[in-house]
Amino acid sequence: MSTANLTQRPDVTPAKRPTEPSKTRSTLVWLGLLALVGVSAWLSGARWSELGSLFTEGWRYFLLMGQGLVHNPFSEPYSEYWTLAFDKMMESVYMAWIGTLMGALISIPFGFLAARNVSGRVTVQVSRAFLNLIRAVPELVFAIVIMLPILGFGPLAGTVALGVGAVGTLGKLTAEALEGIDMGPVEAVRASGASKVSVLRWAFWSQVLPEVLAFWLYRFEINIRASAVLGVIGAGGIGSLLSQLFSKREWEQIGITLAVIVIVTVLVDMISGAVRHRIIAGSAKSERRIQEETVAL
């Protein structure tokens, strides 16, 4: 009976489908964005007509690069190309390693100085400003402005530039990690009558160590790529070889060199990633959090 009643009631006829919310706003945003990109494409002064040669010339060069790779790597002169590229790439890895280590060691005190729960307000402000200053200047600029005049051309200048560049980001991340610690252990260590230094060492540093080590390794991975840039201005590493080869247009050797860069970088990333997983496993913070934070690197 009730069903019969229901079907008879006029207001139970299928309700109207709700109207779709207006799309005007998103359309306007898209139009604005497209206009911005269009104007930028024009203002950038790029010769867009050259884009076609990417597909004609590009394909030819790509094949030439590939040819370098398929030749027997143990025959002359290809064995020489492989060893040269490998040596230079390893120089980049060494530069990145020493630079990162140097930057990491310098960043520790700055991390403590810039952490709100460790230092006073003025100290925090001053050291934050200093770290931001370093972060905003690209390594290349450090290398050009300070390192090359003092240290001369070569891997040493590049290494020190990478080290100084690493201080900004690592110091900031260390400070943020310190601010995120559990204050319980700090109280416990204080209650046991520890000195100020012991508190920092056993309550603060112990808690952030896994996270900070993960940041260092991330930075090392980034510095391997950054060291290539420094080579172009003569500060050592694979970059100098690469820019020489491109100016001579030695496509086969370029192909080999790029392959070495890819292989070594992927290998180092894999090793460093495995170590990071192991270090972070069991620490309070999930790896996901750390990945999100290292976006700032």
Partner 1 sequence: MSATATDASALRPRKPGPSGVLIAGLAAVAAFTVWAAIQIEFTLAPLITNFTNGWEIIQEFLTPNWSFIFRVWEAWVETVAIAIVATFVGVLVGLIFATMASRVTNRSNWFYRVVKVALSMVRSLPDIAYVLIFVALVGVGSLAGILALIMFNIGIAAKLTAETIDAVDQGPLEAADASGSGTISRTRWAVLPQIMPNYLSYCLYIFELNIRASVVIGVAGGGGIGSVIDVQFSRFEYANVSAIVVAIFVVVMAIDQLSQYLRRRFV
Phi and psi dihedrals of 190, rounded to 5?
A: -65, -45
* Closest to partner 1 by CB, 178 or 268: 268
Residue of 236, 229, 215 whose CA lies nearest to 290: 215
Q: How far is the CB of 20 from partner 1 (least distance, A)?
A: 14
Q: How far is the CB of 142 from partner 1 (least distance, A)?
A: 10
* Closest to partner 1 by CB, 115 or 222: 222
- At 119 the three-state DSSP class reads coil
Distance separating alpha carbons of residues 48 and 109, to the nearest angstrom: 50
Task: Answer whether the bond into residue 18 is a cis peptide, omega within 30°.
Answer: no
* Closest to partner 1 by CB, 111 or 158: 158
* Closest to partner 1 by CB, 41 or 183: 41
Residue of 192, 198, 230 whose CA lies nearest to 91: 230
Is the sign of the CA dihedral 105, 109, 111, 112 positive or negative? positive
Give the distance, in angstroms, between the CA of residue 122 and the centroid of all CA atoms in the same chain. 30
Helix 121-136 vs helix 78-113: crossing angle, to nearest 10: 160
End-to-end CA distance of the chain: 70
* Closest to partner 1 by CB, 66 or 120: 66
Q: How far is the CB of 288 from partner 1 (least distance, A)?
A: 7
Q: Which residue has the tokens 């402005």?
A: 145
Which residues in this chain contact partner 1 in the complex, by CB under 8 A?
33, 36-37, 39-48, 50-51, 53-54, 57-58, 61, 90-91, 93-95, 97-98, 101, 132-133, 136-138, 140-141, 144-146, 149-152, 154-156, 159-160, 225-226, 228-229, 231-233, 236, 239, 242-243, 246, 249, 258, 261-262, 265-266, 269, 288, 291, 295
Q: How far is the CB of 291 from partner 1 (least distance, A)?
A: 6
Q: Return the DSSP state at 115.
A: -
Decide if 171 contacts 110 (C-beta within 8 A): yes
Q: How far is the CB of 243 from partner 1 (least distance, A)?
A: 6
Number of helices and strands (H, E) in the chain? Answer: 14, 0
* Closest to partner 1 by CB, 43 or 197: 43
Distance separating alpha carbons of residues 213 and 277, to the nearest angstrom: 11
Q: How far is the CB of 188 from partner 1 (least distance, A)?
A: 17
Q: How far is the CB of 132 from partner 1 (least distance, A)?
A: 7
* Closest to partner 1 by CB, 12 or 296: 296
Distance separating alpha carbons of residues 143 and 70, to the nearest angstrom: 37
